[in-house]
Amino acid sequence: MMRVFSVPELCCPDCAKKIDAALEDAGVNHEVDFEGKKVSICDCDHCQEVTLDILKEMGFEAERIS
């Protein structure tokens, strides 16, 4: 099961690569969908906290959609 977050400001491939690298470095099992403007992560509270913190630090707002 994955948690999916909408990231409306995800507007370029470079941003997607930066998010991907940051989540990889943090050890979060994830997928970045640039075209869908979404980030999916493994279904655990710790990963959600880490992911939201990383996105916020990078200047991205995220909202859980599933």
What are the pLDDT digits (tens) for 27-46?
Answer: 999 999 999 999 999 999 99
Mean pLDDT (the chain, rounded)? 96
| Fold of the domain spanning 2-64 | Alpha-Beta Plaits (3.30.70)
Separation of alpha carbons 58 and 55, rounded Å: 5
- What are the residue ranges spanned by the domains of the chain? 2-64
C-beta separation of 3 from 40 below 8 A: yes
Report, as an integer, the average pLDDT of 22-31.
97
pLDDT value at residue 56 = 97
1: confidence class by pLDDT, cuts 50, 70, 90: confident
